[in-house]
Chain A
Amino acid sequence: DAGVIQSPRHEVTEMGQEVTLRCKPISGHNSLFWYRQTMMRGLELLIYFNNNVPIDDSGMPEDRFSAKMPNASFSTLKIQPSEPRDSAVYFCASRQGNYGYTFGSGTRLTVV
């Protein structure tokens, strides 16, 4: 199993540009989570999906953030327009039932 796959690993973009982060969960996992990690706030849950349906997006900081899961093997997190304060490492994780969460390697986003 290749684990949770995130792309890109690093993204540098200019303020105001649209950014799309991608995640491929582990096959057979029915829950998917997006987290953001910063020095100031630590790890924050942004949104999670169960069976491709968004369950809780209360952690999404602003309307500039949106997430989709069009099928069981793919999810995107989009920021439009991006701002310097969005700079962080974004992690995707997946889970099957009561088993442990498996995290991807993360996308380091820098907005200049």
Chain B
Amino acid sequence: GNSVTQMEGPVTLSEEAFLTINCTYTATGYPSLFWYVQYPGEGLQLLLKATKADDKGSNKGFEATYRKETTSFHLEKGSVQVSDSAVYFCALSDGGGADGLTFGKGTHLIIQP
């Protein structure tokens, strides 16, 4: 079956530090890959996505590249801000139909001023 593994948290960084959150996946087909962000007390918001190998998703300074050879979709940001503090979820969707998302456990990111 499908699965997503992401690094355990919490991850604590200082403002303006470089961020990497690792994500690897297992899927039977050619999945689409996503990063979602969840702020306290809120639902999940789509941060970025990539639908095929070597695609790069980007949004709000965050980037992730779909690496089929390493089955990875690591999230990066060059300079984090306090407002980036949230829980980040890596997820995959297997196929283009109306299937559900398989999520990783989530990584709690804490940015200190």
The answer to whether B101 touches A101, judged by C-beta atoms less than 8 angstroms apart, is: yes
Whether B69 sits at the interface, judged by CB under 8 Å, is: no
Q: Number of residues in B with C-beta < 8 Å to the partner?
A: 22
Take A43-B89, A43-B103 as given contacts and tell me if A48 and B98 are in contact as well, using a CB distance cutoff of 8 Å: yes
Contacts of A31 in B (CB 8 A): 98
Q: Give the contacting residue for A103; candidates B43, B96, B106; CB below 8 A.
A: B43
The answer to whether A42 touches B104, judged by C-beta atoms less than 8 angstroms apart, is: yes
Q: CB-nearest residue of chain A relative to B97? A: A50
Cα A80 to Cα B103 with chains together (Å): 27
User: How would residues 9 to 33 of chain A score, 1 for a CB under 8 Å from any chain B CB and 0 otherwise?
Assistant: 0000000000000000000001101
Cα A102 to Cα B34 with chains together (Å): 12
The answer to whether A56 touches B100, judged by C-beta atoms less than 8 angstroms apart, is: yes
Binds A, one of B11-19, B44-52, B78-86: B44-52
Q: Number of residues in A with C-beta < 8 Å to the partner?
A: 24
Contacts of A42 in B (CB 8 A): 103-106
The answer to whether B100 touches A33, judged by C-beta atoms less than 8 angstroms apart, is: yes
Q: Which residues of chain A in 33-88 are interfacial with respect to chain B, using CB atoms and an 8 Å cutoff? A: 33, 35, 42-43, 45, 48, 50, 55-56, 59
Take A100-B49, A103-B43, A103-B44 as given contacts and tell me if A45 and B100 are in contact as well, using a CB distance cutoff of 8 Å: yes
Contacts of B98 in A (CB 8 A): 30-31, 48, 50, 55, 95
Contacts of A35 in B (CB 8 A): 100
Residue from A43, A50, A95, A105 having most chain B Cβ neighbours under 10 A: A43
- Provide 14 A-B residue pairs closer than 8 Å at the C-beta atoms, listed in order of the A residue: A42-B105, A43-B44, A43-B89, A43-B101, A45-B102, A50-B97, A56-B99, A59-B100, A91-B44, A101-B46, A102-B46, A105-B42, A105-B43, A106-B43
Residue ranges of B at the interface with A (Cβ–Cβ < 8 Å): 32, 34, 36, 42-46, 49, 51, 89, 96-106
- Beyond A31-B98, A42-B105, 9 extra complex contacts between A and B, CB < 8 Å: A33-B101, A42-B106, A45-B102, A48-B100, A50-B98, A56-B99, A102-B46, A103-B36, A103-B45
